[in-house]
Structure 1
């Protein structure tokens, strides 16, 4: 029997009836419409042609030989009211999220916009460029124009792209905010904001930029959040900016290895390799797998370690098979103790007895970190996963770890004095080890020397001889202190800029939309369980208007003052009985005007 998409709707409905509500700490169940959708194996048989898609989109998919949508794409396209609501999609990286939001957005264009209508925010330049590339081929038959706004590229060319009438804008938060403040990017026509990899975005410290971007877009009808996980920061962002979002969840099981300890060293940003040397001297790994981000970094790192006296080789994707085999064999047999690799080159690598995995810099995401860490702690042996982070990266890493059950130990970077003390402890441990068997001729030699010389003098000379030429690493404390001060100043400067920007936006808004409106007082507050996002959604629902008609909400313990536009103020007068019914105001007088100390209107 031919498979029909209606079967999916039937199965989803039955599952929705029988399944329990999702339970997640920190969520307000009145605010969120929890409809957790399970992925059914039958979705593998669904084709794109079974959905009401434009012929141009189907043609573009066919050219790429994309016949079957991924589970997350099926879940999103099954939502019939998707363009009228906010959306949260929890799905892992690489699940096809770009097409999941790209297809419905392009499919609803009756006329191709000549001004930006959709803003898509990505956490990294690479992901933003990749997203823009996918959306370009997806909209190739529709002649869709896209502006890509990312750091590290010519800002003048990006301004030209914006002037060329793009329908979609794809970018990183920092560069998008830069264009907004320069006046290059017009936000008036933006109806949709998509946050791609929201958790990763917050991991990288973009919360302030995201909030500033939201405040700059006054006409947004819908916000779609795509996130692999739902840490506390993502939940808070959702509560503040999304109204009654639809929830789609495709779970992933992220488990940590119990035989691995996790450790972080804070390092000065411009002295990464020197810091790595200090950590290696302190840790003394038997076999260390070191991860870098790029091919060039692996080459430079391996060369630096070799110069510092370590036996190290690089492993990257551009090596010949012979070079690759040579590096791996040296590492396996213990000829080299340090293998410096990229993720791509280390893919599928299976080496026993790796005592340490060291990650130089911030991992891409929590999945990436756990996957790298899994190269140690195998076959019942304990392993140690170490990350070297600058002060700025450390706050991002804390956010990343906050949504996991992993326990991490934060350690100060060992300095020269620490390394010297560690070397002494190692020597003492070897000298006092009673399990070591001394060869007979060495024993006789020792007895002869002790009989002829002062034993204390002998030991002192042996220790001095053993310590001569030892590498004690680098003195880095001063550089680390400077980095901490720079980071404090950067945060302070950004917060001040954001505060100034918020003040200007507030002044602009109060002198335009709400100049002819007024302020109402509601007789309910935080003691009744209200939050700003929840109250905003309720007001929009009762008044039947958009969030753009509602201004500042000042929420107190037992009341709330809300700015309304002239249109919203008129709707409030008409729908006052509904406010009484929902206990937002206590009662109405016979004249149907707000009574003092309950709900009142303060005219501007």
Structure 2
């Protein structure tokens, strides 16, 4: 399909000025005759030109038969994107696409000044691009009037649902005019996207590109098995090996992004960080530094790098494995865009080989497993790049050649070449020596599990300063041994746990590698230290001797064996208790408590309890000073008592009389 066949002439000229000679598959699909004027549900792989595709798809709806827009007023189209970076990127793409047609594009994204956005909307715009939260805010405040809206585009709709924008999207779509076109563009079409399509679209045309069903032909997927402590060194070697014009490194957390950005900056890489904790201005400056060449490496999280398009991005490194297969495809889709070639490299710590295999299988991708390039391979690659440098074959000015001849005459050609090499080496970070994970790290998981365990043969013994006292167990020691020595469990033999230390056996052919990796790891972890014994070592001296089984434990289950008396002392005498007297009336030992025994100083009350109330029989008022002080406040019956009391005295523990202060009664 030619550029001028079914699109407005102004957009065709813009594409030609941008260097387009042909359209991509998804761009041709939206310009097909059956798609004209209809709602569209488009699924295409990242990097297939979806932004230009929906810009071309809504051009006929916005311009009609005209070649240029009329004066800007209320917006005619609304583009909704999941992230700030993607929204600003869409604005830049539509700016050059609609430049010939006189289109005015406004943006409304979080992190920017909302007052400036409201002023831009008041001045008028033909197309508004924004994020769901900020667009809803402008609609609720009356700053964004969608009364003349003709088209709504949801870009990366699946990502917006993943980010929790479903409620905002439904609010925006419900507020839009009923007669507008609704276009959904997404890399995948899950069930939630299908539900939105059925609710808000009318007779939608489903478009799916062929490239979505197969592996991206412009991306080379590679997987590298590495030792867990070598992650950062492996990233450095990959960056040095490829020497990509721009590279993107994905991390799982913001802390990892900050740590890698700091280390790469110290090593001489021109690196920037991109994470959610940065302000919008900082994120914009970081992306601009990559676009204009001031930075060559970007370390980012998944959320920050969703949907961004970096021109010339040649390398994507997965420093941390993605959480699922869709994230793997989204990450890798940042490279290999618009017909360019790219590399997607997965760094796989060999304990996570099975997870990497599941991710690749779930994404329908085939990766080439390879060994991580070391200093020798990087030096050879630098040599090839040096001989292929176009600067040696380019035409130079006469002044430069005259200076070069003077340098050769003074220092000689060999000295000049050596100085050139030295300067190039100073400008590039030195590669790192990596720990070899061993051939077992590259074997498929299924093959290792199903293969029978061969004879262990001779082994080399090592000691670890942890035993029963430290609650050491084989299920705790085995992962520690594999982690520190970078071996697999098939290379670990017997494990003997003693009282204060333990010992274990490493297969003879892996012992040298184990010692080297152990030394590189510092000989241990925290307070645990591993030392080599060498050869056949004696059993642990501190190992607890097995306890003899007593006759009590030799009986059958559920039976209690007869207990033997100890021979070193006489059997403990048994004392019989006297019979307990019968306290019931008429029983033996019964004695009614009618009076106390002689010598007791308190008489026993006989008869009914007298009524102490005033006016009752046997009532006798107590004389003043005859009662025993209780230390509690006195007062009228029913009245609230106060502390300290108004009068009286308190007898202290030392026999002293503490005079109370008389207070004036209330009322």
- TM-score band w.r.t. shorter chain: 0.3 to 0.5
Using structure 1 for the length normalisation, give the TM-score. Answer: 0.45
Using structure 2 for the length normalisation, give the TM-score. Answer: 0.41
Larger-gyration structure (1/2): 2
**Which structure has greater helix proportion?**
1
Higher relative contact order (CA closer than 8 Å, sequence separation 6+): 1
